[in-house]
Structure 1
Amino acid sequence: MPSLQNSPDEKDDKNPFKDMGFITFWVVSTVFYLTFPLSFLLCYLTLGSWRTKQLLLALVNDFLQTIMILIVVLALVIWLAYHFIAPLFGG
C-alpha cells in the first residue's frame, strides 16, 4: 500500500521542534514571526504540511506558555504592590 506524502509514519511522529534548545527555537520562532506570510509558505513548500503543522503547534504552545508566565508574574507583582507598598501610603 503506498504511503501518503503528508501522513506521518512511526519515525516521523516525534515533533523535532519540541526537542530544540531554547536559543535555537527562539531564533526559529523569531524568524518565523518576523517574516510570517513568506515563512509559512516556505515552510509548507520545503518541510511539507506535517512538519509545518508540528512547527505551528510548537509555536502556539510556546506563545501560550509565555502568556501564562506573564500573567502569573503580573499577578504576583500586583499582589506584592497591594500588600507591601499600599500600606505605606496610608491604609
Structure 2
Amino acid sequence: MAAPRQAELSNEDVNVIGSFLEFLDIDEYFSSKIPGQRALESDLAVSNVDDTDDQLLKHARLDVREKFGLDKLKNLASLKVHFVSSTAKGEIA
C-alpha cells in the first residue's frame, strides 16, 4: 500500500492555494478569462483598477510556483498578469 502524499503549504498565500485547487478542479481559476477577449471577468469585491498590487500579484504568484509542476497553470497565470488593469504602483518590471 502506498503512503499518502502530502504537500507542506503552511507558508503559502491562501488565495494562491485556493486558485490552485480551483484550477485542479475546473482547469481555470477566478477571475476567468472571457472567451474571445483579452479581458478577465469582473470581480465585484475589488476595484476595476488594481492600485494595491493584489490582483496582479495573485497571478504572478501562481506563475512562479514551480513546485506545482503544472505548465498549463503557469501559462494561464502568466497570460492573466497582462489582463490586470493596474496603476504604475502595481506593475511588475
| TM-score bracket for this pair, using the shorter chain length | 0.3 to 0.5
Q: Which has the larger radius of gyration?
A: 1
Higher helix proportion (structure 1 or 2): 1
